[in-house]
Each structure stands twice: as structure tokens, then as C-alpha cells.
Amino acid sequence: MAALFTGKVLMANREQDEVETERELGRALENKVLLLYFGSGQCPRCRQFSPLLKDFFLRLTDEFYVERASQLVLVYVSRDETEEQQSAFLRTMPKRWLAVPFGDAFKRELELRFAVSEVPAVVVLKPNGEVIVGNAVEEIRRMGPACFRNWQEAAELVDRNFLLAEDFDDWTRRSITDPICRLKYKLDKKTEAKNKERKEEGEESS
């Protein structure tokens, strides 16, 4: 999949970071279904569809809904008229989205390559760049997150249940309860330190 973006730049949503090296793109896109979302924050049809796509993406990737994010990545290819409009739209969308920078001629290349004439359009691709669905807008509207299973099978993704031990350990450290565990650990340490101080003070006064 990274071959599609070789020599190109993608922006991380709401960040100044650019994902541009082959290694970074490879890690971001490897073994994942890729959605190319052609849309605009000003298009009435897009304004109806974008909240559905946002919910669809979050239900498959957000820790609030799933223990582990699905093997899914989305790149926004905008038809916004200004960079400010593109930025304003992206601020309302999930942080995990990537985007082709505003004004990049690569957007036109993608439109021509995947024969996109109208928006909204969602092109679904295998990790090797082959098209699974030319435009999945109606499928997403009709089936919601359930259609991802069909794409996953079509893409023949390697099941991440077969993680190496160290990968699994790394994932468990980043689980949803991790910040709570670490916070509790810090609180316990503070309580322990205070108790120790009190004990020492008591011993000194006696």
C-alpha cells in the first residue's frame, strides 16, 4: 500500500506531523484496509454522510468501542476550496485520520486513478492497493461497521490475534485501563511515602 504513496506526503489529523518516509507510511498502512475518503466540508451530501463515516470509523478503531483497533486506516482527499475549510472539517473528525495536504496535486492523481467524479466517495483498497469497493458510501450507510468484515476477508489480512509475545505485551501496556492503573500506582506510592514520613516523625518524637 505504501507504494501508492511513495514520494508523497500525508498529514496526521490535527497535528503538524507529516507521514512521509516509506518506513513511516509502511508502518501506518501495512496489513490494513485503506479507505480513501473523497469529500468536502461544504458539500451538502458530504455533510450528511461524514458523521456516518466518523461513527463508522470510531466504532471500529476507538478504545471506547473495541479492545483493539480494527486493521483500518483512512486518508481524507478533500475538495475543500480553502486550506482553512479543510482544517475546520478535519477538526470535527477522528484524530487517527490521515489527509493529503491541501493543494497537493496528488489529490487529482487519486481522483483520476480511482475514477472519482462525485463526492462523497469512499474507495476501499487492499493493503497491496487493489480495489475492494469502488465506492462504499451506500454500503456504509446500509450496513455500518458490519461491512468491514467483508472487506477484511477480501483483503486477506493477517489476523493480529497471532501477535508475537512482545507485541502483545506492548499492546496490553497501552490498553484502556493502563492510564487508570498508572494513576492508581502513583497514588499508592504517594500514600506509601506519606505513611513512611509520618512513621519516621513519630519515631523521632518518641
Spell 157-173 as b/e; 16+ CB within 10 A means b. Answer: beeeeeeeeeeeeeeee
Specify the pTM.
0.74
How far is the C-alpha of 133 from the C-alpha of 181, rounded, in Å? Answer: 42
Contact between residue 37 and residue 119 where contact means Cβ atoms under 8 Å apart? no
Say which amino acid occupies 15. Answer: E
Q: What is the pLDDT along the chain (206 residues), one digit of tens a residue?
A: 667 887 888 888 866 566 655 667 777 788 899 999 999 999 999 999 999 999 999 999 998 899 889 999 999 999 999 999 999 999 999 999 999 999 999 999 999 999 999 999 999 999 888 999 999 999 999 999 999 999 999 998 876 554 444 444 444 444 444 444 344 444 454 555 556 666 666 655 55
